[in-house]
Structure 1
Amino acid sequence: MTIEEFQNKFGIIGKSKEIKDLISIIMQVAQSDISVLITGESGVGKEVFARAIHGASKRTEKELVSVNCGAIPESLLESELFGHKKGSFTGAIDDRKGYFEIANGGTLFLDEIAEMPLTTQVKLLRVLETQEFMKIGSETVTKVDVRIIAATNKDLQKEVDAKRFRHDLYFRLKAVTITIPPLRNRKADIIELANYFLTNFSKNNKTKIFRLTKDAEEILINYYWPGNIRELKNVVETAAALSQTDILDANSFLPLLSIAEQNDENRNLPVFVNKSAEQVDREIIYRALIEIKKDLMELKSLALQNQNDFSKNDSQNNLTEVVPIHNLEKEAIINALNFTKNNKRKAASLLGISERTLYRKINEYGIK
């Protein structure tokens, strides 16, 4: 099976080298029973890769059981994983199988493994080493044959150093570690994913087929995507749902992207990125341009409101503290022209105005 065939079979979208390399590793380890640890930011699609590993394994005929360790209260997690006997605690009115027993012969996917309490980690380690466990309230051992795939959006080594995660369990889980890069580090996949989500949206909702304009694609490619693929899916589907036409342009997405707030807490921290200085500068200018546009719209609204208030009061007000709108507008136009390397069609599109209006403004403000 080729990498492309594997992607089609298990619904892994992407043409970037990073994705191709990950799939190559998955295809090598899927057939074994070795434990796999999948790491990556929230929303990168860790469960999709877990399902692909199970689907390509010799356990594919058996069940893949997914458990979100962070979503189950600590007091219930042990019972959910290992099961319990009737009367073993208040509320245990019947015998119950745990996820390990349900997944017997198949695969158990433990998402958000870093949220698992230390006491439960001890019992998980025992199962990994012996393939047996005891239900709560039971005096007999239950044997199982389960493959473990774990996932986390945290740095488990740091969790180990902070004594929040057992080092022996960490080393047992990380036999094979797959790290899924964030969407912003594999920009080649963004438009393919966006079109995939649009196609599914049209099919599921029986609507027209949507098409992305070039300026919309540029917006999506240059956005930071802190929520990764999950955020991209939500943004694309929302834009499609709100659109009155089958064409999605930059203005379809700008109100849906929290660019002004993105990465604020780390904005002034030094960060290593695998990009040229020109690429970094381009992204910074692009984000700044969008922020200026949003601020300009807010300032226009505020200025008009103040102007109405001044007219009502019919009084002299000190306007020296108000920045003239034309200054902000001129600055936005200059930034747009610089960013698009003087491509007036693209600049007009980014600013949300017609080319004719842009030419008029350039002449009006004497922009060279």
Structure 2
Amino acid sequence: MSKREEIQEKYGIYGESQAIKEIIAVIEQVAPTDITVLITGESGVGKELVARAIHGESKRANGPFVIVNSGAIPEGILESELFGHEKGAFTGAIETRKGYFEMADGGTIFLDEIGDMPMTTQVKILRVIETGEFMRVGSSQLRKVDVRVITATNKNLEDEVKRGNFREDLYYRLRSVNIYIPPLRERREDIPILFEKFVAEFCQKNKVAFAGITDDAMQVLISYHWPGNVRELKNFVESILVLENGKIVDANMVRKYLKYDLSGFDFTRNLPIRYGKTSEQADRELIYRALIDIKGDLIEIKNLLDNLATFISKQITSPLALPEAKVDFKTGTVIENFSLVDMEKRMIQAALERFNWNKRLAARALKISERTLYRKIKEYGLERKREN
């Protein structure tokens, strides 16, 4: 086994693509040093695995490896979490507490989602990277630590600097070495390898049988867009192994669990089944996924309303297109009204007719997902007009 294969197997950085080979080569080069490393890439590509590999192959491997999710800690307590605090420094500080940097002394601290860190904290991060010095919250005593700093983000820090959201001096300090992990859709040759590894790991750990996967099913996996990257693939493997235990995985089964669309995008993903986590962690992840789904629905509603407003404005300019409300002038009662619901129904019907009931094209024109379009068609009882 080569050194590259050894590192891949040890830290779970699987793949045979050129991108993965280059990443492993960089890990081998930078690990023995104390140079600061910035790891970039979309969520779910495996940035933490690369950070663990750098630490594990370094001279600090026997020291602590402390992970900090900068974006998950409220701004009001972030500095206390990073640098610690003295007893009485603020309400609730009933005792002196070490921060993450002190906990990582002699080892490595991994600052994930560094792009979400407040500007006020960025100044102190820059100082501790350059000098190793910091002060606990509520203290005037200067402390010193020996820590290697590895950071990661899914944001473009150069753009964040231009927008004034990230300090330029910290950005240049962090990017001494930048390891970019491409999304899974840009290294599709790694998908079969990752699938095989995840299956083997899960079956061994959970004593679950795997009957195999058809060539057609693997092609569906390879052509899928994977917006959640490697993390999504792993969740998919866990779900399908449990729910289809003992069955051969075929193309229809894959489409069922991915809610696969021919364009390669994931419109309605089922909640993943998670293993090896506490109930609190699992609940929190389910809540996060639900919030993401709600956000997507709200965006679709906004797009639908924007389209509706445009449609109404066009209808008003044409006296023949918009019927007037019918009113009983004796009682002042509105007998027939042209409501927003009616307008939405007409707008959807018009889009469907325009694209000859091609639902995918109609959904794109309306800027909503096919799932929403199907729901609206059923809700309004829309039918294709038959030609005489």
Once the two structures are TM-superposed, the CA of residue 204 in structure 1 deviates from its matched residue by 2.1
Q: Secondary structure at the match of 1:212?
A: coil
* CA distance in 2: counterparts of 1:164 and 1:81, whole angstroms: 20
Q: Secondary structure at the match of 1:135?
A: coil
* CA distance in 1: counterparts of 2:121 and 2:143, whole angstroms: 17
Q: 1:154 to 1:258 in 2, by over 3 A?
A: farther
**Corresponding position of 1:262:** 265
* CA distance in 2: counterparts of 1:246 and 1:61, whole angstroms: 43
Q: Give the aligned length.
A: 280
What residue identity is the alignment partner of 2:11?
Answer: F
* CA distance in 2: counterparts of 1:183 and 1:41, whole angstroms: 9
CA contact (8 A) 2:220 2:251 kept: yes
Once the two structures are TM-superposed, the CA of residue 209 in structure 1 deviates from its matched residue by 2.7
Q: 1:207 to 1:146 in 2, by over 3 A?
A: same
* CA distance in 1: counterparts of 2:140 and 2:245, whole angstroms: 64
**Corresponding position of 1:341:** none
Aligned runs of 1:82-231 on 2, under 5 Å? 82-231=83-232
* CA distance in 2: counterparts of 1:179 and 1:237, whole angstroms: 27
CA contact (8 A) 1:194 1:236 kept: yes
Alignment gaps of 5+ in structure 1: 266-287, 307-317, 324-368
Once the two structures are TM-superposed, the CA of residue 102 in structure 1 deviates from its matched residue by 0.2
* CA distance in 1: counterparts of 2:184 and 2:50, whole angstroms: 15
Once the two structures are TM-superposed, the CA of residue 246 in structure 1 deviates from its matched residue by 3.3
* CA distance in 2: counterparts of 1:143 and 1:319, whole angstroms: 72
**Corresponding position of 1:321:** 385
Once the two structures are TM-superposed, the CA of residue 103 in structure 1 deviates from its matched residue by 0.1
What residue identity is the alignment partner of 1:321?
Answer: K
**Corresponding position of 1:28:** 29
Write out per-residue CA displacement over residues 71-105 of structure 1, whole angstroms, 9 at most, x where no aligned residue.
10000110000000000100000000000000001
Once the two structures are TM-superposed, the CA of residue 235 in structure 1 deviates from its matched residue by 1.3
Moved over 6 A (4+): none
Write out per-residue CA displacement over residues 51-72 of structure 1, whole angstroms, 9 at most, x where no aligned residue.
0000000000001000000110
**Corresponding position of 1:46:** 47
TM norm structure 1: 0.72
- Which stretch of the first structure deviates more once superposed, 90-99 or 192-201? 192-201
Q: Secondary structure at the match of 1:70?
A: helix
Once the two structures are TM-superposed, the CA of residue 255 in structure 1 deviates from its matched residue by 1.8
* CA distance in 1: counterparts of 2:32 and 2:383, whole angstroms: 73
* CA distance in 1: counterparts of 2:227 and 2:259, whole angstroms: 10
**Corresponding position of 1:326:** none
CA contact (8 A) 2:208 2:245 kept: no
CA contact (8 A) 2:11 2:53 kept: yes
TM norm structure 2: 0.68
* CA distance in 2: counterparts of 1:27 and 1:212, whole angstroms: 35
Q: Secondary structure at the match of 1:129?
A: helix
* CA distance in 2: counterparts of 1:100 and 1:184, whole angstroms: 36
Q: 1:258 to 1:39 in 2, by over 3 A?
A: farther
